[in-house]
Structure 1
Amino acid sequence: MAARIAEGLRLTAADRIADIGCGTGLFAREVTKAVRPTHPVLCADPSEAMLRQIGTPPPPGLMPVLASAENIADGDVELPQGQLDAMWLKESVHHLPDPARTLRGLAARLAPGGRLLVVMLPASIRYPLFNAALTRFEELQPDPADIVGHLESAGMKAELTHVEHELRIDRDRYFGMVRARYMSLLSTFSDDEIEKGIEEMSAAHPEPVLVFPDRFAFVLGEAEKPRGGGE
């Protein structure tokens, strides 16, 4: 995934980069190893507990910042390098109360020619979850096509592509992940509902290893570059 993010954003060592909603910095860490940027990667997240897991002090090349996507978009946080050349949001856009406004604000923090990548699950998924979870996911998940529209409304050139991998996970391990509510969606279900859901999953999937596609939408927005004097 880190390699896909770096490739999608066409990252170079000279880029000023931010991971918005970085969590524990997993992807920022891997991108930094691959790209070796000159400037530290800004790792922004509203959870202090998540940011602490990046390390104290943080690893070289990472700069944790306690801030939400809205804080960055609204200019509440001073960017160390002034503007950014590239930023990404991975599986966090569905948490934004007003994605159009926030994405517009984030786009405004980009330098000319800057890139903004939204990595998200598609509008429907084929995970081996119980039916109520799959239905609720479709009710809550933003449509990637709408994110394209938001970036275009922010004055960016936007495109949508998809990346798919095959996952193979031990059945009992996956059920344990569901009990631990590995997806934020699952936090909307009670313990009893989760257990009933796992009973449903057990009946539908007796096989010891679950095999299913993990598909992501990559929505890339690019800010306009300034026109040269001879154009």
Structure 2
Amino acid sequence: MERRDVQGHYERLAAEYDEHWVYGPHYITWMSARIAETLRLSSADRIADIGCGTGMFAREVARIVNPQHAILCADPSPAMLHQIGMPPPAALTPVVASAEDIAVGRVQLPYGQLDAIWLKESVHHVADPATTLHGLAARLAPGGRLLVVMLPTSIEYPLFQAALDRFTELQPNPELIVDNLRAAGLQTTLRYVDYELRLDREKYIGMVRARYMSVLSTFCDSDVEKGIEEMRAAHPEPVLAFPDRFAFLLGVKPGEGR
């Protein structure tokens, strides 16, 4: 259900997506720096952000790396890509495509091979991760790197219980994604990185009402409102503090890069 409606969910959320995902003044900078350092990005790399949304992380990575080649920002939602800017910044090239499109070559990219690819919290939208990651790995140059950033199957967000349970039900296990990357011929490591979030309770409730997480799109309006009542009762504090834990799965293609 979540996967069937995912594109419609992001089309509806596109105009206010950044508002709901910019948790605080440092989150985007922090996450983008972790992506850049994990992938060991250089200015000479040919880079793709798969499932980029509005390009918020690609934009900051471009600032950090100052790439010689524009970062490819791939997303199946034209509405999300439109938020990058029209015309887009010179350092970013929007590509209307899903991870599956790129994996099987349905979309022609300006670079024959890529030196670095990342998927940040988008692998759970892929119907067949094993096949898609194998196809993405095939697009890497020797020594190329593929990074999957994802949440674990259990999260400590101050959401209502039904949403937490459904998230666990739908979220793939990072260990299985590790297996997929290794089966694709990549030398793979897994590490976890934590970031503490501190959000005004009413702001967070507004994010939930707007269904800032795709799992929330699987609930009807009345269920979301009932869940918000549950959240208010469980969390009377004006500021919500909770950990955001990410699995960083890095796959490296054997061989020497250029």
TM-score bracket for this pair, using the shorter chain length:
over 0.9
Ranges in structure 1 where 5+ consecutive residues have no aligned partner: none
| Aligned twin of 2:60 | 30
Which amino acid in 1 is paired with 2:171?
Answer: Q
Q: Would you say 1:172 and 2:202 are equivalent positions?
A: yes
- CA deviations on 1:145-193 (whole Å, 9 max, x unpaired) are 1110000000111111111011110111111111110100000001110
Q: Identity, % of aligned pairs?
A: 70
User: 2:15 maps to which residue?
Assistant: none
What is the aligned partner in structure 2 of residue 144 from structure 1? 174
Choose the corresponding residue for 1:128, options 158, 173, 177.
158
State the match for 1:214 in structure 2.
244
1:79 aligns with 2:79: no
Distance in 2 (alpha carbons) for counterparts of 1:55 and 1:45: 14
Paired residues for 1:58-207 under 5 Å: 58-207=88-237
Letter in 2 for 1:191: D
**Other structure's SS at 2:181 match:** helix
- The alpha-carbon deviation at position 226 of structure 1 amounts to 5.2
User: Could you tell me how far apart the structure 2 residues matched to 1:169 and 1:217 are?
Assistant: 22
List 4+ stretches of structure 1 deviating above 4 A. Answer: none
Matched, 1:49 2:107: no
Letter in 2 for 1:71: D
Tell me how far 1:79 sits from its aligned partner. 2.2
Aligned residues: 227
Gaps of at least 5 residues in structure 2 are 1-30
Alpha-carbon distance between aligned partners in 1 of 2:233 and 2:81, rounded to the nearest angstrom: 39
Question: RMSD value over aligned CA atoms?
Answer: 1.0
- 1:17 aligns with 47
CA–CA separation in structure 2 for the residues paired with 1:97 and 1:31: 27
Q: Distance in 1 between matches of 2:108 and 2:141?
A: 15
Distance 1:54 1:151 in 2: 30
Structure 2 residue aligned with 1:224? 254
State TM-score, norm by structure 2.
0.87
Larger radius of gyration: 1
1:60 CA drift (Å): 1.2
Secondary structure of residue in 2 paired with 1:32: helix
- What SS does structure 2 have at the residue aligned with 1:39? coil
Distance 2:206 2:52 in 1: 24
> In 2, Cα distance between the equivalents of 1:78 and 1:223?
22
Give, as a single letter, the amino acid of the residue that structure 1 aligns with 2:81: L
Secondary structure of the equivalent of 1:102? Answer: helix
Distance in structure 1 (CA, Å) of the matches to 2:248 and 2:61:
16
Q: Which amino acid aligns with 1:127?
A: Y
Letter in 1 for 2:161: N
Q: SS of 1:213's equivalent?
A: strand
* Structure 1 residue 78: Cα displacement: 2.0
